[in-house]
Structure formats: C-alpha cells, structure tokens
Copies of this chain bind each other. A is one copy, B any other.
Amino acid sequence: MSLLIVGSMAFDSIRTPFGTAERVLGGSATYAGLAASYFTDVSLVAVVGEDFGDEHFRPFYEKGIDVTAVQRVAGKSFFWAGEYSQNLNERRTLVTELNVFADFRPQVGIDQRNMPYVFLGNIDPELQNHVLDQVNGPRLVALDTMNFWIESRPRELAQVLQRVDVLLINEEEARMLADEYNIIRASRWIAGLGPQIVIVKRGEYGALVYMGDDYFITPAFPLQELADPTGAGDCFAGGLMGYLAGVGRFSTAEMRRAVLYGTVMASFSVERFSVERIRELTLPEIRERYNHFRSMIHVEDT
C-alpha cells in the first residue's frame, strides 16, 4: 500500500573524519523516501528551490517515487552544513539556511489524501498537524521530531502527538521530552501523550520500542566502516514505514520485523556519503543483510 512522506528535501555539505561532501542531496523526505521505495509505493510532499534541478530528482525517478506534490518555488533549497566528531558521535551544525523551506506549507495532493500510511518527517509540529488535517483516516501515522521542537513548540507537539500512532525519537530527546533519565520509564510516559508505539533511537546501540505495555529491544547492525551518519534516522523511519506499508498488515511480529528493516536501511545509508548507498541498493542485498542481522540477535529456544 502507498506511503505518504512529508519532510525536507535539501542540500547538505558534510564533513566527517572520513571525507567531505559539498552540496549533496539530503533532507528527511529524501532519505526516508529512498529507503521506503524498496518496499512500497512512495509519494513525497516537500518544497525545493530553483537550484533543485532534474539531475537532483533523478534518484527519485529511478526508484519510481512520486514527486508530483513536491513544490518547486522561486529561491534556493534548504541548505545545511555540518561536521562530525572523530568518533561520529557528535555533530556540529555549521550553517542552516532555510531558504524556501521557511515558507513551506505542505499541500497534500488529491491522490495522496487517502494513502493509508503516513510518515511525518522532522519538521515544525504545526506543519505536521496541518498535514494530518488534509488526510482521510490513514491506517498508520508515524512522526519524527527533535529537541528544537520539544523546546520551541511544546503545545503544537503535544497536539500532533495525540494524532499519531508511532513516535520516533532519539534517546536524549526522549529523556528531554519526558524529563526522565530512565529510558524505560521515559518511553512509557511518552506513550501516555498519544502514540501507542514509541520508538527510541539509540544510534550505534540500536532501538528500544515501547508497544502494548511491553518492550522490544534491538541493537544496531554492526558496521566496520562508517562514512557519514547523516540521514540514518530518516532511513530507519523510511525502512520501517516502507516495510509496514509493503506488507499491508499490522501486528507485533510485523512491527518487530519493520524495526529490523529500518535498522538495516540505516546501516546501509551510513556506509557512504549522502544518498550514494541508499539509492543503489537491491532487494536481495537488503534481504540478505536482514537475514544476517536477525541471525546475529537470535537466541534459539531450548
């Protein structure tokens, strides 16, 4: 079934200990959309500027992603520049130019309003609310957010959280939102705000999922080489929602598999800069890594 993704499409300049990349493709909708496209039909809502040309749309075309609702307007695209620390655990923003993104009002197309799966990328919760005002009873809505919105838009965030099924949030941000250090208590408390499923992203340590009054916990896929962590969280979300939309049914078991697929897509993404790796995958290699990963965390029954 179809997956609607709303978020940013951007240019990033990235510096890591392993190299640099100048004005490469980035943004939450970009990463999530490409990751999801291996599993299901994907449709994007975003805004780009005049500097976003046909060559930049090519990865989306190649993956059959519907970009008809991506507004291309006068001005420049969202630009972000950042730099990672030696161990990739810390990231410093050097430049943020909102450009055309400053006036973004997501417009969900007629054909997109009935899409059953919706992923709201990390944008202003007021805009996330605005998207949900335009869709017709989706089956599953997932939302990503960050510390900036927790601090600057608490009221709008609380409002949109009541309207979503799945929240994706970083570990530190979950602690901030719940004002509680213990992540087991924090995730349970956050579920009280609305989302039945709270997915805490723990970077190199994987993810913890609160769902149905219990927890599912998984490590990350172990990588010997990492090039660029940018977009890992969005690829996780895209893989997860793409997988769920692809199978078209929802259960605890499917949710766990979806978290594993999200983890796998994130692991591919960080192997190279920007979308280089996530745009060139094949379903067999995704399935192979999924199976390997599942075998790495599996404990046989006695």
Contacts and interface: CB of A to CB of B under 8 A. Distances in A.
Taken together, the copies of this chain in the complex come to 2
Contact of A208 (B222, B226, B257, B301): B222
A215 to B, nearest CB: 5
A183 B205 CA distance: 11
B222 A260 contact: no
Interface in A162-221: 181-185, 202, 205-206, 208, 214-219
A224 interface: yes
A224 B257 contact: no
B223 A184 contact: yes
A226 to B, nearest CB: 8
Contacts of A217: 219, 222, 296-297
A298 interface: yes
A253 interface: yes
A257 B225 CA distance: 29
B206 A256 contact: no
B302 A257 contact: yes
A219 B226 CA distance: 21
A13 to B, nearest CB: 24
20 contacts: A182-B223, A182-B225, A183-B222, A205-B205, A205-B219, A206-B219, A215-B222, A215-B296, A216-B297, A217-B219, A217-B222, A218-B297, A218-B299, A219-B219, A253-B299, A253-B300, A257-B300, A260-B299, A297-B297, A298-B299
Given A182-B225, A202-B205, A217-B222, 11 more contacts: A87-B181, A182-B226, A183-B222, A184-B224, A205-B205, A205-B219, A208-B222, A215-B222, A216-B296, A217-B296, A253-B300
The 7 A-B pairs at the shortest CB distance, nearest first, are namely: A217-B219, A205-B205, A184-B222, A253-B300, A256-B299, A184-B224, A87-B181
